Amino acid sequence: MAKKNQHIEKAILMNDTEIEYVLTDNPPRGGMKHTYFTPDRKFAIQFFNKEEDAENPQMHSRLENIVGLYNPTLAEEYGGAMGNTKETAAYFANLFCWPVALIKYPEFGVVCPTYPPNFFFGKHAVKSGVNLDMAGKDKKSRWFTSRAISKCLADDECGNFQTMLRLSISLARAVRRLHTAGLSHSDLSSNNVLIDPKTGTCVVIDIDSLVVPGVFPPEVAGTKGYIAPEVLETMDLPFDDPGRKLPCATTDLFALPVLLYEYLLKRHPLDGPKIYTTTSTEDDEYMQYGPMATFIENPHDTSNRPDDLQVTIHDLGPYLEKMFLQAFVEGMHDPEKRPTAAQWEKALVKTWDLLQPCPNSNCKAKWFVLHDVRNPVCPHCGTRLRADDVIHVRLKKPMRGRKGQWQQTGEINLYDNMPLFKWHFLANVYPDEKMQDRTMQAYISHQGSEWYLVNNALEGMLSPKGNLVPIGQAVWLRNGEMFPTSNQQDALLMEVVKG
Amino acid sequence: MSYVRRLPVYLLLDCSGSMSGEPIESVRQGIKMLVNELKGDPQALETACLSVITFASVAQQTSPLTELMLFKEPKLEASGATSLGGALKVLRECIDKEVRKTTENQKGDWKPLVFILTDGMHTDDDEFDRQTADIKSLKVANIIAVGAGPYVEQSTLKRITDNVLLMNTASAGDLSKFFAWVSGSIKMSSKSLDAKPGGAIELPPPPQGFTIVP
């Protein structure tokens, strides 16, 4: 409902439909655009700050492509990206705040959905006694990744290690989706990714600076701390100089791991004690993020390593450790060596399977990556697990054309009440946007020193002896046992390893 | 241990007699709004530190350089003359004392951002001449001088800095726009990285009705 005295204006979209918006005196203003809202606040109506941007044909062409041909949040049958189904479109509509339409009158502009309500802080966002009013502010990643600020937030706002890992997977998947289509975000930063650690969700915003194949790239400055070193180093060269490095997929592949590192470890990978030059703070910072950028956990060069590192990339498990080294040591000044978004997604998903709840009820992280079963200690609080509480299974799939031979596809740590899904039982099923069936197939029950796999919904589940296990019945998991988990054709083999 | 660099911000505010009444009240409101705005921006909250220096018959630092979370608004009263020269002297002393330099062992602060707001001519010629003799060439800070109303002399402000802005009046409306713009400038400085160290600072376009003095 429009309030009294509200000044309602009408805008006309490219397809000639009208949309109303509320004209305000001081609309929120970003680097490129300013924003009004529809009376129901479901959509943001954005116009450009500069006339030259609004009238730039390259800008029009880029945005037309973004709203249509390259739109992963719209099914192909409705004019969205090729091969996009309604289901995958719905999945990605949750990960992006993607422009839905372009405006032609009163001037060129963009219509975007507003962010879902869980990406705004509520009334009790800060600890009591903290002099900050957060209510209604959007949840830019920065609020959670800065130690100084996140200290002020109420504990339940900050989620835990598991929810941070969950939203990290979503972000890697979102960037993978862009890159698969040949798009790059070009300004990924803690301002352009909103996160809700409470629910473990994220949404990528400011989609309109995307680099679209074949269309002149936007001139974005990027955000401090997320600009790839090679972009910063060549920023002084003219825009069309062949030596000038512009934002592209490989620069996204610098910004993405910076964000992931911040989400999982609550610090920036380049912010260490090293002083690069004493000529001025500005010169020092330029070196730090540009030509001399040194990863604080670089094993070969410890000059930038803080002396109070408690949780390190090693504690994130083997998959992520390797990836961070590849991104920030080999790939720091060699963009081609940076891992792809798909590799990040895979490594994060594999790491998810290594999660273990911390038995210490006061542990703020609540979860940790159990990567060394012989030394099961939570790196966040130092609590050690009892040997009886440690068990993992190796998942193996049949090798094509070699009957009786199996290839390991994954390794999972088990814990009491852990849910298991289709991808834990069937080969060639992945927990990504294409997997719509997310019903719990089975769960783990830990009683005393024994472990059981309880069938919840899995058709044809088999016991180690090969007997059918009906729904509601359980299988006893004993050390060393190896068995096909069901009589389905693509069934995975499970090998139990205790303690 | 944090390795975050600070952005020191100094507000030099004219509290001479001509500012009494609505203008000084608008300045009080403006500072309140500025601090609230900046606290709503994570980068600004993390990096910006704020200090207020007032000048009337004497110039003094009324709020020492403080992080935003702990900042307390100064009590402002308007009366007396306009010792802008004195304010520049206090500014330089404060920068010397409060702004950290990058050394072998510590991450320094960024070059301070200074906003000067005045509605008239300075009344301390000698001090003003002394201070402006080298303030531009020393480049100790990025200074923006804003003149309000008809009694401001552009050429005088130009002796302090090349960044001079004029607004028509010292009315509540204009002053509120001024503080909104200061807030925008601080937010922008805390996010963008100085790609060319030592280059000109980038500020948002000034509000409607303000003119940039070329």
What pLDDT was estimated at residue A402?
82
Two structure tokens written together for A374: 């012989």
CB A458 within 8 A of CB A486: yes
Judgement on whether residues A173 and A319 belong to the same structural domain of the protein = yes
The CATH number of the domain holding residue A190 is: 1.10.510.10
Residues in A closer than 8 angstroms to B104, CB to CB, are 275, 278
- The band of A305, judged by pLDDT with boundaries at 50, 70 and 90, is very high
Q: Which ipTM did the prediction report?
A: 0.89
Please say if the pLDDT value at position A208 is more than 70.
yes
Residue B198 has pLDDT above 70, yes or no: no
pLDDT in the model for residue A394: 95
pLDDT at B195 > cutoff 70? no
Q: Residue A217 above 90 pLDDT? A: no
Quote the pLDDT of residue A2. 46
Domain boundary (A114, A129, A152) is at A114
Q: Chain-centre distance of CA A168, in angstroms?
A: 3
Chain B nearest C-alpha distance from A131 (Å): 7
Whether the per-residue pLDDT at A3 is higher than 70: the answer is: no
pLDDT category at A26 given cuts 50, 70, 90 is: confident
Task: Name the residue facing A271 among B3, B40, B193 (closest C-beta).
Answer: B3
Interface membership of A238 toward B (CB under 8 Å): no
Candidate from B1, B110, B196 with C-beta closest to A281: B110
Is residue A410 one of the residues assigned to a domain?
yes
Tell whether A85 is covered by a domain: yes
According to DSSP, the residues that pair with A426 across neighbouring strands are A491
Q: Do B4 and A271 touch (CB under 8 A)?
A: yes
Strands A482-484 and A450-455: unpaired
Q: Give the CATH number for residue A418.
A: 2.60.200
A164-192 pLDDT, tens digit per residue, is 999 999 999 999 999 999 999 998 999 99
Q: Please tell me whether residues A245 and A335 are part of one structural domain.
A: yes
Q: How far apart are CA A202 and CA A141, in angstroms?
A: 9
Cβ separation B5–A148 shorter than 8 A: no
Are A178 and A281 contained in the same domain? yes
Residue A488 lies in a domain: yes
Q: B4 to chain A: nearest residue by CA?
A: A271
Q: Convert the pLDDT of each residue in A72-105 to its tens digit.
A: 999 999 988 988 999 999 999 999 999 999 999 9
Q: Say which residues have a Cβ less than 8 Å from residue A249's Cβ, sequence separation at least 6.
A: A179, A184
Stated pTM of the model: 0.93
Q: A255 and A194, same structural domain?
A: yes
A249, A165: one domain = yes
A216: which DSSP letter? P
Residues A197 and A316 in one domain: yes
- What confidence tens digit (pLDDT) does each residue in B148-174 have? 988 998 999 999 999 999 998 888 989
Nearest alpha carbon to residue A317 among A271, A273, A266, A370? A370
- Kindly list the residues from chain B whose CB atom is less than 8 angstroms away from the CB atom of residue A236: 195-196
Q: Which residues of A touch B197 (CB under 8 A)?
A: 280, 282-283, 285-286
Go through A167-191 and write b for each residue having 16 or more CB atoms within 10 A of its CB, e for each that does not: bbbbbbbbbbbbbebebbbbbbbbb
A312 and A168 together in one domain: yes
Please answer yes or no on whether B193 and A224 come within 8 Å at the CB atom.
yes
Secondary structure (H, E, C), A61-98: HHHHHHHCCCCCCCCHHHCCCCCCCHHHHHHHHCCECC
Share of chain B above pLDDT 90, in %: 67
For residue A79, what is the domain's CATH number? 3.30.200
Q: Region A3-27: what's the mean pLDDT? A: 88
The residue range of the domain holding A425 is 387-498
A1 pLDDT tier (thresholds 50, 70, 90) = very low
Same domain, A187 and A289: yes
The verdict on residue A432 lying in a domain is: yes
- Evaluate whether residue A271 is within a structural domain: yes
Domain assignment present for residue A377? The answer is no
Do A109 and A154 sit in the same domain of this protein? no
Q: Is residue A225 part of a domain?
A: yes
Q: What is the structure's pLDDT at A221?
A: 67
A132: nearest CA partner in chain B: B39
Helix (H), strand (E) at residue A398: strand A391-398
Whether the per-residue pLDDT at A363 is higher than 90: the answer is: yes
Closest in A130, A152, A278 to B104, CB measured: A278
Instruction: Give the span between the Cα atoms of A47 and A92, in whole angstroms.
Output: 25
Which is nearest to A481 in space by CA: A455, A499, A463? Answer: A463
The strand ranges marked E within A147-305 are 193-196, 201-204
Q: Which residue in B2, B108, B205 is closest to A147 by CB distance? A: B2
Overall domain count for chain A: 3
pLDDT at A483 over 90: yes
Question: Alpha-carbon distance B211 to B205, whole Å?
Answer: 10
| Mean pLDDT score of chain B | 90
Chain B's closest residue to A235, CA to CA, is B195
Closest to A176 in 3D by CA, of A426, A348, A354? A348
* Window 37-96 of B, Cβ < 8 Å to A: 39-40, 42-43, 45-46, 69
Q: Is A371 part of a structural domain of the chain?
A: no
Instruction: Identify which of A272, A273, A282 has the shortest CB distance to residue B194.
Output: A282
Give yes or no: residues A238 and A279 share one domain: yes
What structural domains and CATH numbers belong to chain B?
7-98+108-213 (3.40.50.410)
Mark whether A104 and A181 lie in a shared domain. Answer: no
Q: Do B184 and A49 touch (CB under 8 A)?
A: no
Residue A108 shares a structural domain with residue A153: no
- pLDDT grade, residue B194 (50/70/90)? low
Is residue A476 helix, strand or coil?
strand
Q: Amino acid letter at A299?
A: P
> Nearest to residue A255, comparing CAs of A321, A188, A300, A351?
A188
Residue to substitute from B32, B178, B193, B201, interface A, most A β-carbons within 10 A? B193
